[in-house]
Amino acid sequence: MLVCVVFGSIFVVIGAMFFDGLALRWVEGWQTMPAEEKEKIQIKPLCRNIGTAIILAGGIILAAGLFPAFADAGFRWAMVGWLVLCGLDVFYIGKSGRYIVSNE
């Protein structure tokens, strides 16, 4: 249970850093991307999207560490639901164009 509390807390902190945009300094792909490409991406809303997904995973893991009944009954289904939602989110990110700066 302690492992879940530790890792859940780590996920929540890292997710909050992504949500706030602070984690971008550690994302090598973003650091090496040319400025012209960076200008085409709405990074703030994208960071909030990804940060929310990571915080949600951390919350589920943290709940499993703090509440043994949840670890026994709901953890697996919560993680399956999280995986499905994240898969749909990745599809949405790729297809919607929401995070692309329009040149209109």
With 60 as the cut, is the pLDDT of residue 104 above it? no
Give the model's pLDDT for residue 69: 92
pLDDT digits (tens, 9 = 90+) for 33-66: 999 999 999 999 999 999 999 999 999 999 999 9
pLDDT digits (tens, 9 = 90+) for 80-97: 999 999 999 999 999 998
Cα separation of 30 and 33, whole Å? 5
Q: At what angle do helices 75-96 and 43-66 cross, to 10 degrees?
A: 170
